[in-house]
Amino acid sequence: MHVAVLQFPASNCDQDCVHAVRVLGHTANLVWHKDTSLGAADAVIVPGGFSYGDYLRCGAIARFSPVMQAVIQFAAQGGLVLGICNGFQILCEAGLLPGALIRNRDLQFHCEQVYLRTLQRDTAFTSRIPETSVLKMPIAHGEGCYFADEPTLKALEAGRQILWQYTDALGQATDAANPNGSVQNIAGICNARRNVAGLMPHPDRASETLLGTDDGKYIFQSMVAALQKA
């Protein structure tokens, strides 16, 4: 798998994403936000950070970058696109994913480990996640509270597009396990076509045992498996 990792002004997880992909035995290169082409990429990762200083709204300015036109086209052709943290916010702003991410309900920036339950395993982002496992991954965000109106939520449920929920260590989606107030404890979703996904937790910071958890690797391995099948 060769991954294009986007780089905006104030992206700060771009190198983490490149590193995680390489550690798992694949290749990646950075693509500058002013570039209009993604090169020969099999998949795209929109990394975390604070693109354009989070001015106006998180991801609002980044979505109009030249490179995002290439990403929109890549996604329209069925290409795999994963947005992590600020990348998730950018994909929502760009309309590639439904809903929006707003200020955490307690107004605090949360930098901690969370547990995630995977709700769907028939996607290019989740197929290699073991059936029984609750994933442990870090979050680091101030605006990660997922919001969508009722009709959108119903469509997400009907389309089985809610991929990950915040849970406790036992996999229970309790309110106490919800770090930011997201509706239905939603941590990550995919689009109806199932080729674009976004999540607030960081699989890129959790793909080596050295970092305390390597559960994030399952998401990247799922993408590899999907590309091999294609």
Partner 1 sequence: MKAKLVITPKKAVLDPVGKTVQNALAHMGYQGVTGVHVGKYIEIDLAPGTDKAQAREALNAAAHKFLSNPVIEDFQLELVD
16 token code pair: 């983490």
Which of 54, 93, 214, 215 touches partner 1 (CB under 8 A)?
93
Instruction: Count, in order, helices (H) and strands (E) of the chain.
Output: 5, 11
Q: Which is nearer to partner 1, 32 or 64 (CB)?
A: 64
Query: Residue 11 in 3-state DSSP?
Result: strand
Q: By CB under 8 A, tell whether 154 contacts partner 1.
A: no
For residue 46, list its beta bridge partners.
83
Q: By CB under 8 A, tell whether 57 contacts partner 1.
A: yes
Q: Which is nearer to partner 1, 149 or 157 (CB)?
A: 149
Distance between CA atoms of 201 and 80, rounded to whole angstroms?
Answer: 18
Distance between CA atoms of 227 and 223, rounded to whole angstroms?
Answer: 6
Of 7-15, 72-80, 99-107, 213-221, the window that binds partner 1 (rule: CB under 8 A) is: 99-107
Write down the least CB distance from residue 224 to partner 1, Å: 32
Which parts of 109-195 fold into alpha helices (H)?
Answer: 150-158
Contacts (CB under 8 A) with partner 1, residues 13-52? none
What residue ranges bind partner 1 (CB under 8 A)? Answer: 56-57, 60, 64, 92-93, 99-100, 102-107, 145, 147-149, 181
